[in-house]
Amino acid sequence: MKTMFAILFSLLAMRSFAEDVAPSLGDELSAMRTRIEKAFRRVLAEESLSCAIIGTVTHVERTFFFLQGNDAALKVFSKGRPQLKVGDRIQVSGKPSIEGGRIVFNAEKVEKLGTSSLPGARKAGADDLTFVAFSRDDYARDINWRVVEVKGRAIGLTESGFAMDINDLPVTVVIDKVPSFLSDSAQTRPIVKVKGVAELILDQSSIIDASRWVMGVKVYVAGLEDVVLEPDLIYLANKHDVRLRIAVVGAFVLLGALVLVLAFYGIRQARNRLRSQILMGERKRMADDLHDTIEQHIVGAGILLQLGKLKEVADVLLRAKKEMRDIVWGLKNDDMMRLSPAEMIRQYVREENKKGMYRIDCKLSGLPEKLDARLMRDLSLILREAVGNALKHASARKIAIVSEPNGAGGWLLRVSNDGKPYDPSTALGVDQGHFGVEGMKARARRLGAKLSLCHDGHRTVLTLEKQ
């Protein structure tokens, strides 16, 4: 008899334990609030036991899915990608565990029972989303892992979807594809209504403290149809402002392109003008040189022809040929133009001494370091004219070119020779077909210097004086 009572007592105890931690497969998830809490306490005590639950799938991710009954919801982890879809009614066997202070379920076996309509979405504001409960009486009011409908202002895109603000509560919406009207949400900040499964992000400082703060909320959304735009005046104004900014930026881009085109055109025109000015300058230089030298030689040759002086005409034409060569040299001899006046004179002396018919010596000081190309050309042609006159009219064999300082910033240049003296006014006069003196004086004036030719009965000296 005692044995029978013992067996009966054991059966009753086993039945009570099974009802607490291992409910039958037919139990509804909505009827398991007390059992889940008891399982939760056993998990904390490291006494987790297997059980089975039934519910409707409300959302599916890669490694987990959500189940919901009438008033309760669970997050269920699976070993592989769940072969489930929203609306499946399933039975899950497995063990509970703890994640972030909440009891979750680890599935070992999933059996489909059919399909079911989804639970109605619960409208949730900031207060609903931040409510956290663990006691048996309040568990049904906890919003965690339930299908909810929230409304707030979208504030920008994230890697997993987009972000919302609901009365300063940060909400992250997880969705595979973001609606196109949210592409500029950081600027337009539209109000959107979202339906999905809510998951509270809790402060992890304590596992069982029921007063912990909600740090944020994730809302898992199945598709685009669950995100609805509700435009307001702020959104419309921001949208208009974004379009206005785009228009302004576009206008500035076009204006910048126009400025670049005009700048390029202006630079090109400036280059063309500079090229034209250079060409005009060279033409004017040649015209001046022709007027100062060649034209005068031609006029002189004409006068001599009228007088029948053929030998003198030949001399004038030879001289014109030499002057023409000098003019062309002035166009092409750019290297000499880069020399200093003293270097230019020394180079000229070396070239003339190579001929071996006469000797030129130079002793130079006081000359400027640089002259511009035109003035350097004028100085060179004055020297050539002076040397040519010494050779032709004085029959010189030795010529000396000497320069020295002349006051502050001035200089003095003399060209003398060992030949017979000649009267420049007679030998180089117009009646002899020579106009070189006038050309030299014109060039001297451009140099800002004074040119003089004189003889003292022993020699003829050309002096170029720069004050």
Tens digit of each residue's pLDDT (9 = 90 or more) over 218-246: 999 988 999 998 877 666 655 555 565 66
| Statement: residue 275 has pLDDT above 50 | yes
- Burial track 79-92 (b if 16+ CB lie within 10 A, e otherwise): eeebebebebebbb
Query: Mean pLDDT over residues 346-356, rounded?
Result: 84
| Statement: residue 29 has pLDDT above 80 | no
| Statement: residue 4 has pLDDT above 60 | no
Where does the pLDDT of residue 361 fall: very low under 50, low under 70, confident under 90, or very high at 90 and above?
very high
| Statement: residue 21 has pLDDT above 90 | no
| Statement: residue 35 has pLDDT above 90 | no
Where does the pLDDT of residue 5 fall: very low under 50, low under 70, confident under 90, or very high at 90 and above?
very low
386-441 pLDDT, tens digit each: 888 888 888 888 999 999 998 888 999 999 998 888 777 655 554 444 456 777 88
Lowest-confidence pick of 16-30, 157-171, 353-367, 371-385 = 16-30
Where does the pLDDT of residue 140 fall: very low under 50, low under 70, confident under 90, or very high at 90 and above?
very low
Where does the pLDDT of residue 278 fall: very low under 50, low under 70, confident under 90, or very high at 90 and above?
confident
Whole-number Å distance between alpha carbons of 250 and 115: 54
Mean residue pLDDT of the chain comes to 77
| Statement: residue 260 has pLDDT above 50 | yes
Whole-number Å distance between alpha carbons of 272 and 294: 31
Whole-number Å distance between alpha carbons of 19 and 61: 31
287-314 pLDDT, tens digit each: 666 655 666 567 667 767 777 777 777 8
Report the pLDDT value the prediction gives residue 398, as an integer from 0 to 100.
92
Report the pLDDT value the prediction gives residue 121, as an integer from 0 to 100.
87
Please provide residue 100's backbone torsions phi and psi, each rounded to the nearest 5 degrees: 60, 35
Give the rounded percent of residues in the chain with a pLDDT score beyond 70.
71
Report the pLDDT value the prediction gives residue 312, as an integer from 0 to 100.
74
